[in-house]
Amino acid sequence: MRVYCGKDYEQASRIAANFISAQVIMKPDSVLGLATGSTPIGTYEQLIKWYEKGDLDFSAVHSINLDEYRGLTADNDQSYRYFMNTHLFDHINIDKKNTFVPDGTEPDAEKACRDYDEIIRAHGGIDLQILGLGHNGHIGFNEPDSTFCKGTHCVQLTESTISANARFFASMDEVPKEAYTMGIQSIMQAKKIMVIVSGEGKKDIVEKAFLGPITPEVPASVLQLHSDVILVGDEAALAGYHKALQ
Ligand code: GLP
């Protein structure tokens, strides 16, 4: 794994955006695996700036997002589809028909998951997968468990994830308790993976995920088995990782 450290969130976001730019420039019809959460927002803002300057062209790019809350419609401002539209897609020249997010409104969970796996398969997999990192080590919404779940599946979110997400909702009752998420196999089959981390709050889990034992109880630890992973973070998030290596 290669590790890139920016001094702060802004610099880490620029580093991450540079890797995505390089991917799109080298392969204009890349399939990008995209992530939500607060961490990649700075990366997306940087990509928009470079697009506006004329340095990037997303017209042939396809994107496949990691996850979506079950039950939220695309126009709900807390849905991940809404997040992707407002934080990235509305500001670049990607064709929205080529952007995929699990269908949170599909009540038949098996169908929603089967359809999404078929979308991933039909695209020939993912060229560059962007990942954030949950405080409990989740990636996408692959929560700590006793096994790794391979394909897209419906998850019951853990209490820690529900409370971490509560800040975005008016009340606890409105926080979705379930989500559809891409599975560990689809993530691990991506040709390249870039994990973005920021802030002191991620320090311990970064160390645990990338230097600790590989276990489904820390889903991100499986990334240690992938041959092309880049970890991009700011000093605060990488402090524990760097210290452990000294
Ligand atoms: C959510 C998303 C994850 C994301 C995580 C971390 O749970 N499903 O994909 O990585 O949040 O979010 P943040 O970047 O806000 O810490």
Mutate to test the pocket of ligand 1, among 9, 39, 156 (most ligand atoms within 8 A of CB): 39
Query: pLDDT at residue 35 above 90?
Result: yes
Average pLDDT score over residue span 185-196: 98
Q: Who wins on pLDDT, 3 or 245? A: 3
Average pLDDT score over residue span 186-191: 97
Q: What percent of the chain has pLDDT over 70?
A: 100
pLDDT of residue 54: 98
Q: Is the CB of 38 under 6 A from ligand 1?
A: yes
Active-site residues, by number, are 67, 136, 138, 143
pLDDT of residue 160: 83
Q: Is the CB of 137 under 6 A from ligand 1?
A: no
Query: pLDDT at residue 31 above 90?
Result: yes
pLDDT of residue 158: 85
Number of Cβ atoms within 10 Å of the Cβ of 174: 12
Q: Is the CB of 140 under 6 A from ligand 1?
A: yes
CA of 135 to the centre of ligand 1 (A): 8
Average pLDDT score over residue span 91-107: 97
Residues 102-155 have pLDDT tens digits of 999 999 999 999 999 999 999 999 999 999 999 999 999 999 999 999 999 999
CA of 39 to the centre of ligand 1 (A): 7
Query: pLDDT at residue 244 above 90?
Result: no
Cross-strand bridge partners of residue 100: 64
